[in-house]
Amino acid sequence: MHFASDNSGPVHPKVMQAMVAANEGYALPYGADALMAEVRTRIREIFEAPEAAVYLVATGTAANSLALATLCQPFQTVFCSPVAHIHEDECNAPEFYTGGAKLTLVGDSEKMTPEVLDAAIAIEESRGVHGPQRGPVSITNVTERGTVYSAAEVAALAAVAKGYGLPVHLDGARFANALVATGASPAEMTWKAGVDAVSFGGTKNGLIGVEAVIFFDPAKAWEFELRRKRGAHLFSKHRFLSAQMLAYLEDGLWLETARAANAAQARLSAGLRAVPGVAYLYPPEANTSFAAWSRAGHRRLHDAGAQYYLWESELEGDDPDEMLTARMVTDWAARDEDIDRFVELVRG
Amino acid sequence: MHFASDNSGPVHPKVMQAMVAANEGYALPYGADALMAEVRTRIREIFEAPEAAVYLVATGTAANSLALATLCQPFQTVFCSPVAHIHEDECNAPEFYTGGAKLTLVGDSEKMTPEVLDAAIAIEESRGVHGPQRGPVSITNVTERGTVYSAAEVAALAAVAKGYGLPVHLDGARFANALVATGASPAEMTWKAGVDAVSFGGTKNGLIGVEAVIFFDPAKAWEFELRRKRGAHLFSKHRFLSAQMLAYLEDGLWLETARAANAAQARLSAGLRAVPGVAYLYPPEANTSFAAWSRAGHRRLHDAGAQYYLWESELEGDDPDEMLTARMVTDWAARDEDIDRFVELVRG
Amino acid sequence: MHFASDNSGPVHPKVMQAMVAANEGYALPYGADALMAEVRTRIREIFEAPEAAVYLVATGTAANSLALATLCQPFQTVFCSPVAHIHEDECNAPEFYTGGAKLTLVGDSEKMTPEVLDAAIAIEESRGVHGPQRGPVSITNVTERGTVYSAAEVAALAAVAKGYGLPVHLDGARFANALVATGASPAEMTWKAGVDAVSFGGTKNGLIGVEAVIFFDPAKAWEFELRRKRGAHLFSKHRFLSAQMLAYLEDGLWLETARAANAAQARLSAGLRAVPGVAYLYPPEANTSFAAWSRAGHRRLHDAGAQYYLWESELEGDDPDEMLTARMVTDWAARDEDIDRFVELVRG
Amino acid sequence: MHFASDNSGPVHPKVMQAMVAANEGYALPYGADALMAEVRTRIREIFEAPEAAVYLVATGTAANSLALATLCQPFQTVFCSPVAHIHEDECNAPEFYTGGAKLTLVGDSEKMTPEVLDAAIAIEESRGVHGPQRGPVSITNVTERGTVYSAAEVAALAAVAKGYGLPVHLDGARFANALVATGASPAEMTWKAGVDAVSFGGTKNGLIGVEAVIFFDPAKAWEFELRRKRGAHLFSKHRFLSAQMLAYLEDGLWLETARAANAAQARLSAGLRAVPGVAYLYPPEANTSFAAWSRAGHRRLHDAGAQYYLWESELEGDDPDEMLTARMVTDWAARDEDIDRFVELVRG
């Protein structure tokens, strides 16, 4: 019963096989490997973006920070949700990589709305040179609360950004899960909606550790390459990043693993919703959910070794009926029997 | 009728005389001038802090940013009000000087309360290495809305910070106005309340452009000196900063100018409060106030050449009765006749 | 006998009078003052550059660092002499302001030659993304050793830079002294020679503390303004910077003070060269010189209270005949009797 | 015939097997995996340093930059060879990670000597607050020219650093090759010699991409962890870094691969030295060498598909007898027959 995160499970076997297969003889380093050329071609096809610049890095924080640093000047501010990973979970990496830009927190929920975004952007630069200048809008899809923006919602946010001439970044650490959830195509969810750069995640969806950064306009490609090297994120044995990404894209493996993860979450939430006293905080639209039930239920899970996060709650406490919130993430390898057992333990 | 800012008025004549007097012969550069030794002695006396490290810079943003950079690591976050000057009016200078630290906005008003501050600090570091780490608390007194923290209020905030082992910075761009408003002594308002470093303002209170940075514990003095030079804020002809500050401190000139500025604001607000239809947004406790009255009143002022800021409002508009907010700042040189005329124009 | 630096002497009386005169009533802050408009016009006239963007800051390090930060990306390197002020005397301010750019030291003397500069530039970027990228060339005139580049020499260096598409910065902390020494016009020494941005010094030549930064192409003017504010170098009471600079430019005062400083150095060097045993290390072409004579001579000067720097030498020592090097800087206020007395003391 | 770099060859099969083996079930992320606990224990044993703080990152540039950022303040300068990887091959990453520190180039060869290092350190800080302050000494072993410092030589350099109170960093991208070449123990080459922090390389010696950073004094361990996360170098699926490193250390694999690489280089250089007209530029003490021979010889190699770098030379050219320099790196997988064939092609 491993629902703590989609970063703690196993790598898909096909990915590991591709690693082994890539380990033949000598290959050009630093991204000049033949596999990377294939990756580039495949991503351009998948995104219907023949001009796109495509790069690989090994962590999601690197993808986000380097993409933002390329889009943002140090005297600007990035607009994002107050629960955005770039704000809460990257230990100031965006501030570091941008040279000290600010993050402006938009609204008070995990999904930004066009109205609230517009108001947040409008108020900046009312101070001329004194305040930070308007910079990129960063959208996370799947959001950190497990909800999903439709392609139309992304387009509506991007339209606000474009109205101010601002670039749009999409943090797609769980991009595949969002596509599977919405049925949108990669192009519809990104450049057709007005997105300029994507962090295209793989690590949470079956890879060892690879994320692509895609710029639909290649004008800043060289700058990105320099920032990547300067950030120490250029791999000499780059073929082992390429091999992972290529296996990921092969025969739609990336969508298959995302479908499995979302389906596991759907099974989990269907089960839990049927348990009296379980309350969902957000609609579980992809592979992450937040729901509350009694401390007694959590104790049963804990004693059975279930792995998940208690959200701003403590297992310790006197009241067995107190509602405590769980954050549950399912990955591609989640097993039905574990899900069902988890539900039964909540039920008691 | 100049109420736009306390940075647009004249320098006190005694300060200018001191500049002229300092222009005799040769002096050691870079803060080794004899006048600076006197400044150091005087500030230590005034603050009852014989060990304090004392430095001069020429802008308030420099004072704040350098003080914070000395107190804050780049992976930390500074706690401050959402309307703090360091957040809204320094074009990311704190982020720049700290090497990319974050600013965490505490509550939703210009004055932080201990409860809200405590909650904001507590929530940070629930994420271990992933989130920013807790850094200094920065308090602005006089606040950006013209209200004032009492020494006891500063102490209560500092006590929260100390409970977490965090240093406390006081942005005292209008420190003299706060002292005059509260009757607290410099020591009571700072180190006795738990403040570690002060930006001690002079520019808004009669000087050309000098702020002192005071560290009550001199342990980081040398680091500050290096950061000041690296920030390009070390003056070769430093005697002309020293001369201003010395004149400021001489015979309590700094308190005299602050008293004049506060008294002018008191006269202004007494007058305006007596005008039917004028509504104050904040109690005008020092030399700044925010009040609203009809567009018609603003038009009369505008036509008469009165200088002040319309706050998130536009003079243009059809409705003469719409309430528009004014931000009015009085400086040491404000004249009674201008104040009275201003009030009469509002009255119409 | 004050020859330690041109930053320790008095401000020209006309400058101080201008400060006093500027202290009338209220003025718009942050560079919107009427005096700054005059400064802008005058500098454009003097440099024959009607489109130039002109800004004032208060220190030479700020002028250099902000100009370079505007011209240089953080993954680039600045080419300069190994004794450049930006390398030796700014405590990493250029690295700070550029966000971590490197400085590549060109050759081994205070003046770069086109050949050595070309070789230094050529070798960079032989490493693709791995090494730093080529960035601006920074030329100091007057050099840190008191020698002067002619306008033709500046043009030859700039031509090398332009051959690589690189911008050129001129550190003109002693720009007036260089003009007086060479007879070149401001335009000939700068944009006509290929210079893109100038730090136009005033502080070492009679001002309290003002340097202009001039960009001949205004395309990056707004970026500079933001970087200046973010660096905490935007003055609220800006009129007092403007007033200094305007007095400086009025009736050629800036050239008059530079002529006086250079003439004083010429008198000093003429006197010292006539003293047996005095050896000059560099031709004293402006207001700075380096010369060596016996320890006994230095002791006589020291006992008489003469102020100057011993250069990589120690006054303490047994051998009265050992040659110790002096760095002697004359400012506009240097007096003939002091110079002559200094020479006599060396003579012994 | 692959002698271009030790970063383009295959990963050792045992390492790949360990990757596959690590891919079982769920593991705690971010370095809390059980394998990392074993890595820590093994490294402490190997280095005889039971208190050492041990971390893994994926690139050598990350290891160096993060180690230096932890040891160096932004107003300091790092002392290193002018051909150090941190200076020439990291695109300003050390400047970026340190927040703008400088690199002072010591001497003019790939190996620093205590005398030259002492002189370079001594001259810094003669300028007080104006110049950069003294920071860490960084030593590369094996050097970028294939020569090796003995443990005694490292100790002599570290003694100079310690005399000034400065920390010592060792860039050990090829640390195993240096140990094998000298016979020193890990402890003798590091903390017993006065080294404070090591970049302990694996990527060039048979791993996919893992370097350990070791601090012998754990006082700054937490700061390093924060800097690692902020630099985006903390891996969620960290077990796959741990697995590589553990396989590397198991049964001395790391020394075995280094021995193979060095032996291959010895065979290559023995062969080439026996060819008339081949001149070595540096003694090939580990797995890298620089030697020159005629253009005709290089043409034969090129036509046969041999992979290596021409060093500051061009294959194109008229003179078949012109001496061109080759940089040849052998890795653990180099084959005798390729080496012998290479030699024969040079011989012609």
Return the number of CB contacts < 8 Å for A and D.
144
Distances (CA, A) of A133 to A121, A166, B312: 10, 11, 18
Q: Is the dihedral of CA C265, C269, C270, C275 positive or negative?
A: positive
Residue A312 confidence (pLDDT) above 90: no
Instruction: Indicate the SS3 state at residue C303.
Output: helix
CB contact under 8 A, C10 and B26: yes
Nearest to D206 by CA among D332, D70, D310, D308: D332
Distance from CA of D231 to the nearest CA of B (A): 10
Of A75, A223, A229, the CB nearest to C226: A75
CB atoms within 10 A of CB B318: 6
| ipTM, 2 dp | 0.97
- Mean pLDDT, range C116-131, rounded to an integer: 91
Cα within 13 Å of Cα(B13), Cβ side: 3
A227 and A135 in one domain?
yes
Residues D261 and D331 sit within 8 Å (Cβ to Cβ): yes
Query: What's the confidence (pLDDT) of residue A124?
Result: 84
Domain, as residue range, for D270: 257-347
| Beta-sheet pairing, C211-215 with C197-201 | antiparallel
Q: CATH number, domain at C147?
A: 3.40.640.10
Integer Cα distance of C317 and B100 in angstroms? 49
Q: Which partners does chain B have (≥3 C-beta pairs < 8 Å)?
A: A, C, D
Average pLDDT over residues A125-134: 90
SS3 state of residue C227: helix
| Percent of chain C residues topping a pLDDT of 70 | 100
Structure tokens at A25: 């003889």
The fraction of chain C above a pLDDT of 90, given in percent, is 97
When pLDDT is averaged across residues C177-190 and rounded to a whole number, the result is 98
Residue A121 sits in the same domain as residue A169: yes
In this structure, what token pair is assigned to residue B89? 């009016």
Residue C34: what pLDDT?
97
Which of D6, D86, D91 is the best substitution to test chain A (most A C-beta atoms within 10 A)? D91
Closest CA to A239 of A24, A60, A9, A5: A24
Q: Is the pLDDT of residue C125 over 80?
A: no
Amino acid C107: pLDDT: 97
Structure tokens at B122: 């507590």
In a domain, A5, yes or no: no
pLDDT at B126 over 80: no
Inform me whether the pLDDT recorded for B309 exceeds 90.
yes
- Residues of chain C positioned with their CB less than 8 A from the CB of B96: 230-231
A96: chain D residues, CB-CB within 8 Å: 230-231
Task: For chain C, list the contacting chains (3+ Cβ pairs, <8 Å).
Answer: A, B, D
pLDDT of D126 over the 90 cut:
no
The string of DSSP letters for A299-332 reads HHHHHTT-B-EE-S--S--S-TT-EEEEEEE--T
Residue B34 pLDDT level (bands cut at 50, 70, 90): very high
Helices C295-303, C336-347: crossing angle, 10 deg rounding = 140
Lowest-pLDDT range of A117-131, B28-42, B100-114, B180-194 = A117-131
pLDDT at position C343 is 98
Pair (C41, C128) in one structural domain: yes
DSSP string, B138-159: EEESS-TTS----HHHHHHHHH
Q: Do A88 and B129 touch (CB under 8 A)?
A: no
Domain-located, residue C100: yes
Please indicate whether, in this complex, the C-beta atoms of B127 and A101 are within 8 angstroms of each other: no
Burial of C274 (0-12, 13-18, 19+ CB in 10 A): exposed
Give D-chain residues touching B74 at CB under 8 angstroms: 99, 230
A281, A293 Cβ separation under 8 angstroms:
no
Mean pLDDT over residues D183-188, rounded? 98
- Main-chain phi, psi angles of A24, to 5 degrees: -115, 115
Helices A175-182 + A253-273 axis angle, to 10: 70
Residue with tokens 């120490």: A232
User: Among C129, C133, C223, C235, which would you mutate to test the A interface (most chain A Cβ atoms within 10 Å of its Cβ)?
Assistant: C129
Mean pLDDT of chain D: 97
Two structure tokens written together for C261: 């400083």
Chain C interface test: which of A77, A129, A222 (most C C-beta within 10 Å): A129
- Whether residue D287 sits in one domain with residue D191: no
What confidence tier does A127 reach under pLDDT thresholds 50, 70, 90? confident
Best probe of the A interface among D8, D20, D61, by most A CBs < 10 A, is: D8
Rounded to a whole number of angstroms, the CA Rg of chain A reads 21
Q: Which residues of chain A have a CB within 8 Å of the CB of D61? A: 229, 232, 234
DSSP secondary structure of B165-214? T--EEEEETTHHHHHHHH---HHHHTGGGT--EEEEE-GGGT-SS-EEEE
CA-based nearest distance B33→chain A, Å: 33
CB burial of B220-242 (b: ≥16 within 10 Å; e: otherwise) equals beeebbbbbbbbbbbbbbbbbbb
Band (pLDDT 50/70/90 cuts) for residue A313 is confident
Average pLDDT, chain A: 97
Q: In this structure, what are the phi and psi dihedrals at residue A143, rounded to the nearest 5 degrees?
A: -70, 170
Residues in a beta bridge with A57: A211
Q: Which amino acid is at D250?
A: E
Q: How many CB atoms lie under 10 A from the CB of residue A14? A: 17
Whether C249 and C261 map to the same domain: the answer is no
Among the candidates D190, D225, D253, a domain finishes at: D253
Q: What is the mean pLDDT of residues B153-159?
A: 98
What does the pLDDT look like over A240-281, one tens digit per residue? 999 999 999 999 999 999 999 999 999 999 999 999 999 999
For residue B117, being part of any structural domain is answered with yes
Grouping H, G, I as helix, E, B as strand and the rest as coil, residue D42 is: helix
Give the minimum alpha-carbon distance from D226 to chain B in angstroms, rounded to a whole number.
6
For the cut 90, the answer to whether the pLDDT of residue C169 exceeds it is yes
Q: Do D163 and D61 share a domain, yes or no? A: yes
Contact check, Cβ <8 Å, A59/D25: no
Instruction: In whole angstroms, give the CA distance from residue C250 to residue A119.
Output: 48
pLDDT tens string B218-235: 999 999 999 999 999 999
- The token duo for D176 is 């195993």
Residue-wise pLDDT tens digits, A37-48: 999 999 999 999
Q: Which residue of D has its CA nearest to B97?
A: D99
* pLDDT number for residue D157: 98
Regarding whether D263 and D227 lie in a shared domain, the answer is no
Cα→Cα distances D183→B151, D286, D333, Å: 67, 12, 22
Which of A189, A221, A253 is the endpoint of a domain? Answer: A253
Q: Residue B19 and residue C16: Cβ atoms within 8 Å?
A: yes
pLDDT value at B312 more than 90: no
Q: Give me the mean pLDDT over the D15-38 stretch.
A: 96
User: How far is residue C9's CA from residue C7's CA, in Å, rounded to a whole number?
Assistant: 6
Average pLDDT, chain B: 97
Asked if B143 and B235 sit in the same domain, the reply is: yes
Cβ contact D229–A93 (<8 Å): yes
Return the sign of the alpha-carbon dihedral for residues D201, D204, D205, D209.
positive
Check residue A286 and give its pLDDT.
98
**Position A164 pLDDT exceeds 90:** yes
Q: Residue B313's pLDDT band (boundaries 50, 70, 90)?
A: confident
Residues A292 and A307 in one domain: yes
For residue B124, what pLDDT is reported? 84
Q: Residue C133 pairs with which residues in a beta bridge?
A: C76
Tell me phi and psi for residue A27, to 5 degrees. -140, 150
CB atoms A92 and B75 under 8 Å: yes
C3 is a domain residue = no
Cβ neighbours of C230 in A, within 8 Å: 74-75, 100
The length of chain C, given as a count of residues: 348
**Chain A residues in contact with B96 (beta carbon < 8 A):** 74, 99-100
* Phi, psi angle pair for D161, to nearest 5°: -55, -45
Q: Which amino acid is at B17?
A: Q
Contact criterion met (CB < 8 Å) for C233 and B59? yes
CB-based contacts of C243, cutoff 8 Å, min separation 6: C18, C19, C21, C22, C35
Domain-located, residue D2: no
Query: What was the pLDDT predicted at C124?
Result: 84
State residue A310 phi and psi, 5-degree precision: -80, 130
N-terminal to C-terminal alpha carbon distance within chain B:
16
Band of pLDDT at residue A126, cut at 50, 70 and 90: confident
Nearest CA in chain D to C312: D126
Binary contact (C232, B233; C-beta < 8 A) = yes
For residue D165, list chain B residues with Cβ-Cβ distance below 8 A: none
Domain membership of residue C310 (yes or no) is yes
Backbone phi, then psi, for D2, in 5-degree steps?
Answer: -110, 95
Q: What is the mean pLDDT of residues A76-97?
A: 98
According to DSSP H, which parts of D289-330 are helical?
295-303
Please tell me the least confidently modeled range out of B32-36, B135-139, C120-124, D96-100: C120-124
Residues D191 and D206 in one domain: yes
What average pLDDT does the segment D256-278 reach? 97
pLDDT at B125 over 80: no
Give me Rg for the CA atoms of chain C.
21
Q: What is the CATH number of the domain that holds A268?
A: 3.90.1150.10
Residues of C in contact with A99 (CB under 8 A): 74, 99
Number of structural domains found in chain C: 2
- Of D253, D275, D294, the one marking the end of a domain is D253
Residue C149 sits at the vertex; the CA angle it makes with C143 and C155, to the nearest 5 degrees, is: 130
Query: In this complex, which of C23, C229, C236 lies closest to B91 when CB atoms are compared?
Result: C229
Q: What is the Cα C323 distance to its own chain's centre?
A: 28
In a domain, C263, yes or no: yes
Q: What is the pLDDT of residue D313?
A: 82
pLDDT tens figures, C280-338: 999 999 999 999 999 999 999 999 999 999 998 889 999 999 999 999 999 999 999 99
Residue whose entry in the numeric block shows the structure tokens 């230095």: C298
Residues B229 and B98 in one domain: yes
B with C: how many residue pairs have Cβ under 8 Å apart? 145
pLDDT tops 80 at residue D258: yes
Task: Look at residue B2 and tell me if it is in a domain.
Answer: no
C310 φ, ψ (degrees, to nearest 5): -80, 130
Q: What is the dihedral of CA D262, D263, D267, D269, to 10 degrees?
A: 20
d(CA D265, CA D253): 18
Structure tokens at A218: 């290649």
- What torsion, rounded to 10 degrees, do the Cα atoms D261, D263, D268, D269 define? 110
Interface test with B, best of A65, A68, A92 (most B CBs within 10 A): A92
Residues D96-122: pLDDT tens digits? 999 999 999 999 999 999 999 999 999
Parallel, antiparallel, or unpaired for β D133-140 and D76-80? parallel
pLDDT tens digits for range A282-308? 999 999 999 999 999 999 999 999 999
Amino acid in position A66:
L
Q: In terms of domains, do B101 and B169 share one? A: yes
